């Protein structure tokens, strides 16, 4: 994603093993300079999110869906990144950078900027949601929903049941007489 490698702090840690609250709390307390990268194979294929910390505050974010060639930055990317941290599968990598490297990244990646947010004030979802990925998947590739099937069968416009039990029995009796 165009950021210098930095020094590895945590590499290839499973999201299942990650104590999210503690990790973010320690980043804030230590006034961490660096970035975290989350990678997962989700419903929309390979996804990767990256956030940059400057003195413990989250300042830049980017999120990319490789299969659909879609990239989000700023606040929208941050929502997706925090959601990805709750994924049942995936890995996270954390790298430290010097203060000068963080300034350089902030200068080069201005479009990634979001409001500087202390880690303890991040709105972390309670569980993983596939809504973000669902919005990318073309309608034809999705599983059909009940409403789609009803519309396809021509049943979505009917406001009342076209056949009752009585009318079906009467029809069956008339067909057997013939």
- Looking at per-residue pLDDT, the higher value among 156 and 108 belongs to 108
SS3 172: helix
Query: In terms of domains, do 30 and 77 share one?
Result: yes
Residue 1 located in a structural domain: no
Task: Name every residue whose Cβ is closer than 8 Å to that of residue 5 and which is 6 or more positions away in sequence.
Answer: 95
* Amino acid 157: pLDDT: 57
Which one is predicted more confidently, 148 or 75?
75
* Tally of domains within the chain: 2
Q: Which band of pLDDT confidence, cut at 50, 70 and 90, is reported for residue 5?
A: confident
Domain of residue 168, residue span = 144-177
Section 47-61 average pLDDT:
91
Distances in Å between the alpha carbon of 78 and those of 31, 58, 98, 171? 19, 9, 22, 61
**Do 155 and 71 lie in a common domain?**
no
pLDDT over 60 (residue 158): no
- Specify if 116 maps to a domain: yes
User: What is the rounded average pLDDT of the residues 18-46?
Assistant: 85
């Amino acid at each position: 994603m165009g950021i210098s490698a930095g020094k590895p702090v945590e590499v290839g840690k499973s999201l299942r093993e990650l104590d999210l609250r503690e990790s973010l709390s320690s980043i804030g307390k230590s006034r961490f300079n660096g970035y975290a990268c989350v990678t997962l194979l989700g419903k929309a294929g390979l996804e990767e999110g990256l956030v940059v910390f400057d003195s413990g505050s989250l300042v830049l974010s980017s999120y990319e869906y490789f299969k659909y060639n879609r990239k989000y930055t700023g606040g929208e990317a941050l929502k997706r990144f925090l959601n990805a941290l709750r994924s049942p599968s995936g890995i996270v990598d954390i790298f430290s950078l010097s203060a000068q490297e963080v300034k350089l990244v902030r200068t080069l990646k201005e479009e990634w900027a979001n409001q500087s947010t202390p880690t303890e004030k991040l709105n972390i979802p309670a569980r993983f949601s596939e809504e973000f990925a669902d919005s990318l998947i073309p309608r034809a590739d999705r599983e059909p929903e009940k409403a789609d099937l009803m519309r396809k069968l021509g049943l979505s416009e009917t406001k009342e049941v076209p056949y009752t039990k009585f009318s079906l029995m009467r029809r069956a009796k008339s067909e057997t007489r013939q």
